Structure 1
Amino acid sequence: MVSSLSIFFMFVSLIISFLVPIALAIYICRVKKASVVSVLVGGLIFFVFQIITRIPLLKMLEKEPWYNNIMSNIWIYILFLSITAGLFEEVGRFLGFKFLLKNKLDWKNGVAFGIGHGGIEAIYLLGFTSINNIVYSFMINGGIFDTTIGSLLPLGVGDYLKEQLINLPSAAFLAGGVERLFTIVVHIAFSLIVLMAVKRKQFKYVIYSILLHAFLNGSLVTLMYWKWNIWIVEGILGTFVLIALKFIMASRERIDEDHGSFIIE
């Protein structure tokens, strides 16, 4: 049986993944008067550069011998995935600001872009997964999983899913929601860094964003590979989020007034 607490935390994560991005988007557009287009472009960039470009490309590369050699070395593989994630998403942000939002290069629209980007990621990575987990959990507890969904899945996959849902600590399902909250903040910060690149015509800020993105992804994946406690990992991510929040707040006046050097005091 899947515990009631696990199912409850699945619902919490589901609510976070859908309602938090929507609430943030409404706030930034209605209260701060950002453009809805900025939110939509942020979401579009994630969809184009991750869902329909990077992820299918990585899947195609699995047929290539050289890529299989990379996959056989966990450290090179983590580095490769981290760098490509940063490269695709940050270059995507740059193109989004430069060509789709060139008349909306102010702080509030940079924040709106980040909300859209992080929001779509939350819905794609966590929202749909939470829905599946909830449905599967009710089917397991109702005794119909094996004869319905389980029988349609490849051999062993149904048993694996069932085992994971039953045996994973309940808090693991809550951790996904916490991580998505943190990640939205990080996406806002990355979006503002790239906005600086476009507004000041200094591509070095895109490079900074790519490197920071790759470093954060690689660090967290490495810690999970080492089987660190999930809440310690989330705490480390939370520390990065605090730095990101300081950056977000400090960047407002500098972006809108476009002062010289960009330094957080």
Structure 2
Amino acid sequence: MVSVSTLLCLAFATLVIAAMPIVTYRKLRPRFNIAPREAILGIGVFALFAMVIERALHGFVLGNPLTSGWLVNPAVFVVYGAVVAGLCEEVGRFLAMKWLISREPGALDRHGPALGLGIGHGGAEAWIVGVLVQVQWIVYAVLANRGTLDAHFANAPLEAIARIHLVLLSLSPVSAGIFIIERASAFVLQLGFSALMWQMLRERSRHALGVLIAAHALVGLPAALFQARLVPLIAADAVYLVLGVIVAMALVRYYRRAAAGRPSA
């Protein structure tokens, strides 16, 4: 059984994360002249490069006896996970921004494209990786409370059903808080990555893609370390909470200067 208080907390957390990119877009769109296509492009980048290309690459690597054998080493697994995530997402972000610039060279004079892409990219991640998954677990919890969960998985292996029950037993109001921290921090970091790459492109930097891949990989290390069971979840989330706060403060300062027409440096 999952308590009513836990279900309410999980539902509230899910609604908060679901609303986060929508509210951010609606609030910032008129101020920074964000075009809808910029947010849509960000959504497409995450869907294609993170959900299709990155997952296909994982499938190939894990399905190959040679490469999967290398990943048994925790250090290799951590480096692989962090680098691949940074490579796929930042190449997608870079290509999207280059496409926008080729279509509208004057876009570099605006700050809206970076925000639009970041909101779309981060919002897609929040919904696909966060909201939809969380809704699934809420539904499972309701079915379990009604005693009909096992009947809905009558054809599933017993091991899979047992794992679902274990996850449901671990749900609590604290889980809802952790969910908000993880997804909100990820959203803020995506805004930060987009702002940084856009600023480097505005400065005609030749190192924008390399810097962003490295930055994304470094930020992904705590998650990779947790997946490799080298650090506890609370430690990884604590890092992301701190990073999220720092990046959020930097973004507020950066875009306040941009809105005031002052140099961003």
Task: Give the TM-score, by structure 1 length.
Answer: 0.88
Aligned length: 259
Q: Secondary structure at the match of 1:146?
A: helix
CA shift in 2, pair 1:142/1:229, >3 Å = same
CA shift in 2, pair 1:256/1:182, >3 Å = same
1:39-80 Cα shifts (integer Å, max 9, x gaps): 111111111111111112211222212221222112211110
Please say if residues 81 and 224 of structure 2, whose CA atoms lie closer than 8 Å, have aligned partners that are also in contact. no
CA shift in 2, pair 1:78/1:208, >3 Å = same
Of 118, 121, 124 in structure 2, the residue corresponding to residue 117 of structure 1 is 121
Inter-partner Cα distance in structure 2 for 1:249 and 1:23: 16
Give the aligned CA root-mean-square deviation in angstroms: 2.4
After TM superposition, list the pairs within 5 Å mapping 1:20-99 onto structure 2.
20-99=20-99
Partner of 1:203: 206
Partner of 2:220: 217
- 2:188 matches 1:185: yes
For structure 1, the 5+ residue unaligned runs are none
Partner of 2:112: 108
Q: Secondary structure at the match of 1:147?
A: helix
Inter-partner Cα distance in structure 1 for 2:9 and 2:115: 28
1:74-97 Cα shifts (integer Å, max 9, x gaps): 221111010010111111111101
Partner of 1:138: 142
- After TM superposition, give the deviation of residue 137 of structure 1 in Å: 0.4
Q: Secondary structure at the match of 1:72?
A: coil
Please say if residues 38 and 113 of structure 2, whose CA atoms lie closer than 8 Å, have aligned partners that are also in contact. yes
Farther-moved stretch of structure 1 (248-257 vs 174-183): 248-257
Paired amino acid for 2:15: I
Inter-partner Cα distance in structure 2 for 1:194 and 1:255: 19
Paired amino acid for 2:44: L
Inter-partner Cα distance in structure 1 for 2:210 and 2:89: 12
Task: Give the TM-score, by structure 2 length.
Answer: 0.88
- After TM superposition, give the deviation of residue 201 of structure 1 in Å: 2.5
Overall identity of the aligned pairs, in %: 20
- 2:130 matches 1:126: yes
Inter-partner Cα distance in structure 1 for 2:56 and 2:8: 33
Inter-partner Cα distance in structure 1 for 2:119 and 2:174: 26
Inter-partner Cα distance in structure 2 for 1:255 and 1:56: 40
